């Protein structure tokens, strides 16, 4: 089986989903791709203080990506979201300093 595709320059957000079939919850391909990207392709920078988000850096193009769980009403925060975040927003959310906050 081939690895999922790496991030393309035109991608800015990936939203995973959970699929329920006959009462069994499974993840969709996007959710699996997010897991693969965060485990093998992106560099972990920092976790949020509350543990509900993580900042990653793409070594290919230096973009920052934030992993979140936007469906907080679902157990475990629900499916994952991986989205580009500006350096300024990352600096504010993660109390970090970047050479370039643009």
Total number of domains constituting the chain:
1
pLDDT digits (tens, 9 = 90+) for 47-91: 998 888 999 999 999 999 999 998 877 777 789 999 999 999 999
What percentage of the chain reaches a pLDDT higher than 70?
A: 95
Question: In Å, how far are 6, 14, 46, 61, 80 from 53, measured between CA atoms?
Answer: 21, 15, 9, 21, 10
Q: Is residue 75 part of a domain?
A: yes
Q: Is residue 22 part of a domain?
A: yes
Provide the residue range defining the domain that includes 72: 13-94
Structure tokens at 77: 């925060």
pTM of the model: 0.86
In whole angstroms, give the CA distance from residue 87 to residue 92: 9
Q: Is residue 58 part of a domain?
A: yes
Specify the pLDDT at position 101: 47
pLDDT category, 32, cuts 50, 70, 90? very high
Q: Is residue 70 part of a domain?
A: yes
Q: Is residue 7 part of a domain?
A: no
Task: Specify the 3-state DSSP secondary structure of 17.
Answer: coil
Q: Is residue 73 part of a domain?
A: yes
């Amino acid at each position: 089986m081939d690895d999922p595709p790496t991030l393309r320059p035109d991608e800015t957000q990936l939203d995973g989903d959970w699929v329920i079939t006959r009462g069994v919850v499974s993840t969709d391909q996007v959710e699996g791709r997010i897991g693969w990207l965060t485990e093998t392709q992106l560099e972990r920078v920092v976790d949020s203080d509350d543990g509900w988000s993580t900042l990653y850096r793409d070594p290919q193009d230096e973009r920052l990506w934030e992993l979140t769980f936007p469906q907080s009403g679902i157990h475990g925060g629900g499916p994952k979201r991986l989205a580009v975040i500006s350096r300024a927003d990352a600096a504010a959310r993660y109390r970090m300093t970047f050479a370039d906050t643009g």
